[in-house]
Chains A and B, each alone.
Chain A
Amino acid sequence: MKLDNIYQEEKKSNFAKVAEIIITMASRPSGFIGLSILIFHVVLAFISPYIAPYDFKAINPTLMLQAPSAEYWFGTDDLGRDVFTRTILGGRTALTITFFGSLIALLWGGLLGIFCGLVGGKTDDIVMRIVDAFLSIPWILAMLLIVSLLGTSTEVLIPALGFFYGKGIVRVARAATHDVIAKDFIVSARARGHSNFSIIWNEIIPNVRDAILVEGAMRWSWMLLGFSSLSFLGFGVSPPTPDWGLMISNARGLMSFAYWSVIAPIVGLSSLIIGINLTADAFAKALGIDRSTKAPV
């Protein structure tokens, strides 16, 4: 018996369903905080070019390493650039690249996982061993290889990140598919003679969608960290584009006497990651995937 049965709801539009999920997410303190942080960052990424007080690449030797003041809220860096401007602009690249990267990861990881779960047998064995092999390679090594061979342009970074973070999704999607595949409605669809494509599209995807979306959201925050690490190592976006990883890397030697130039990007990056994680968590709970908070009875 499920509690949902009690009120016979009518069929809702997709929009109403999404709205309901978001309201459920926001009704939890952690979900509310996570959503607020995420929305704040996304909005900031859109409007920052218009509200930035200074030019992000304007070098001014007379203003080197100024402490925070009314004029320069977060101080200035070693080249005399405004840290506030660079911080609010610094999330744009990271957010865009990792967002599209996660979409690619979700798509290929999810579909391959579902396919392997459905087909099983030798195909499944072979594909999963390849995925395992890739999982065992330290990602940073492989990323560095790709980036140094193909360059650091956005067109390379998005698929590269998408590929590397999709491997984990393959496993989750496959496991979720295994849960569904044993159910009689799949057997019934098979016995009726539906094609594999139709079974995946109509029967499996609606049932594993939620689990994969939550996993994708988690991967997003990991990817963000990964991308910033690449920038930190100098393989991400190239200067003078403002980027948190790059800013941290540049300012880390000056930490002892100009802490402000490193703290601002750190706060930006970590708050975004925390925001995404909390949102993903609340998302899982709102969908009822997280069993610890499932409705009683």
Chain B
Amino acid sequence: MLRVKRSQILLYLLPMLITIAVINLTPIGYTLYLSFTNNTLFNGEYNFVGLTNYSYWFSVANTDLLYVIGNTLLYVVVCIALFLLVGLATALALNNQKIKGLPFWRAALLVPWATPYAITSLIWKFLFNYDFGPINQIGRIFLGPQSGIPWMTDPFWAFVAVVIVNVWLSYPFFTVVILGALQSVPSELGEAANVDGANAWQRFRSVTLPLLLPAITPATILSSITTFQMFGVVYLITAGGPVTSADKPGATSFVMIYIYNKILGDNAANIHYAQIATFAVLIFIILGSVTFLTRSLGDSKESLA
């Protein structure tokens, strides 16, 4: 390690610390403050009410909320597994110098990332339409005019649909991260293993994967967080539906969509800012501690190895 003066360490850290303190921490502080008040849109008050809002959320943590959280976790697990699989496979394929036309393949595979999701989500919604969506229309050419998958009206298929869209949107992120990290795998290492006669899987597991982990781990953690907090894309496609009963959350009502439909957005004239802030704090605490524990466990494993 390099031995330097503390002041110099600080100098290198300073730009990032200032950024984080001013832009990341102040909204968190503000939200925390709001969560202890009684502020709503209609009352406009900022009276201190202690933990009232927190006890509110624990009191309404009924079966709906548990269902929503469980459903969101399932979504996160499925999506992340697919992100990793597709991202890794594409990155490995795109890193293969023997493949011809690499610039074309690389650009083509990153296109989903280049187009604004506000538009592509709506396109997907159309592709999934039961009667006139191209996916079902193409299917009918092969399977007969009566066939069709109820993408947007059946709970199971709607879940599948939003997984597909999310994979489509997010795998390029993993492709880029992994492709970038693959550059840190010296080709000599692979060749050495090759000479040793290790097969492809062995080479991948013992040489490539350990070098990719430092890049994959934070990407996986952050993607899990953003998928857990997913809103825009899913909202544009299903709005949380399909709803099977108006008093129950729909099959794709993930946490943020559930909250939006319940107490934010156009569905609540009197916005309960304090309650929303409290919810944000609770989500932050839960996701934050899971992140922290995962990392700490990861650290201790690293130091053992």
Say whether A associates with B: no
Interface residues of B (CB under 8 A from A): none
